Structure 1
């Protein structure tokens, strides 16, 4: 049995050069995922709500500091038109998309599953 430990490096998972879109990146798990992907060479599109644009810009600066492209696109994930525009911009800038991390949290107090449109917004 091989018990030799190997450190995780930029090449461990072969993600360098991939393109990722992450929602809910202003703090917590989403922020940590965006930074981790950036550190291994993934070009990152961070998707904050408009009111969290400053935090998203900081995440982009941290990713760019390690030499990887990143940009923020503020959009409400419950709005299909805004999402379509975000993906169109992503493909326009980077040519494709490989990874999607749906981290945004949406909560409805009035029973999101009671109607089909509400269910669709809950994603």
Structure 2
């Protein structure tokens, strides 16, 4: 849409930057970044399937979103991304309710207990890799037909740990590095189907576990470029951009919302 001079209008720019009218699936949506993504998408006018392993947690999110004065809606589905039958049921429920899917946000994950790699037991390794990397594979392939049918966008949550490799976080670092590599692979394979695949690599974000780790009592304000700790909704804004048509020429990329450049050392707070 343009005015008589050929310049794009404010309305057309806003439309490109919106996910209104889209159907989205967000994994790991019960708290933190995933919940912020669900809130952002629903507020923008999308229908969002919110899922996590715990039904009560994700149902409370859906109830709150559906009770808010926002144009979108939320559907709660219990799903364990490490269980392929559970993931297949998620895809089936989404298609049955909405007829398809336009946007997929693979956010489910967890750092595990940590420790030096040589002390990590095999089940500890498997658990972290399963939820952070194999879970992305499980969910993405379950929705592959629906996404490739009409085009769409996938956004994966990686981590700066995957870029730097963090001592004491070997399984998590390796899994998140794999997410970034998988993002590039899928972007190359699905470009012909008009599916864009990107990722975000957040730095320190004031999710409940990080706030506990750093001793933060409150989520920081959205002020100051020198902050070393971000907000979940700031990551959600980056994900919304990548999911929207404003990022129509962006695929296979991993962007890093981190504040000032750093090497993943714990910040002074």
- Report TM bin, short chain: 0.7 to 0.9
Q: Where in structure 2 are the equivalents of 1:62-81 lying within 5 Å?
A: 62-64=64-66, 65=68, 66-81=70-85
After superposition, the Cα gap between the structure-2 partners of 1:79 and 1:35, relative to the gap in structure 1 and judged at 3 Å, is same
Judging by fraction of residues, say which structure has more helix.
2
Q: Where in structure 2 are the equivalents of 1:97-112 lying within 5 Å?
A: 97-106=101-110, 110=122, 111-112=125-126
After superposition, the C-alpha distances for 1:13-60 in whole angstroms (9 at most, x for unaligned) are 23111001111111111110110001001100001112xx23322221
Which is bigger in relative contact order (C-alpha 8 A, separation at least 6)? Answer: 1
- 1: CA distance, partners of 2:59 / 2:22: 20
In the comparison of the two structures, how many residue pairs are matched? 110
- 1: CA distance, partners of 2:65 / 2:15: 17
The answer (yes or no) to whether the contact 1:17–1:41 under 8 Å persists in 2 is: yes
SS of the aligned residue for 1:31 comes to helix
The answer (yes or no) to whether the contact 1:10–1:40 under 8 Å persists in 2 is: no
Q: Where in structure 2 are the equivalents of 1:25-40 lying within 5 Å?
A: 25-40=29-44
Unaligned runs of 5+ in 2: 1-9, 113-119, 127-132, 138-269
Aligned to 2:173: none
2:122 is equivalent to residue 94 of structure 1: no
SS of the aligned residue for 2:50 comes to strand
The answer (yes or no) to whether the contact 1:22–1:103 under 8 Å persists in 2 is: yes
CA RMSD of aligned residues (A): 2.8
2:42 is equivalent to residue 47 of structure 1: no
- 2: CA distance, partners of 1:68 / 1:61: 12
The answer (yes or no) to whether the contact 2:24–2:102 under 8 Å persists in 1 is: yes
C-alpha displacement at 1:106, in angstroms? 4.5
Unaligned runs of 5+ in 1: 1-5, 113-118
TM-score, normalised by the number of residues in structure 1: 0.75
- 2: CA distance, partners of 1:45 / 1:18: 11
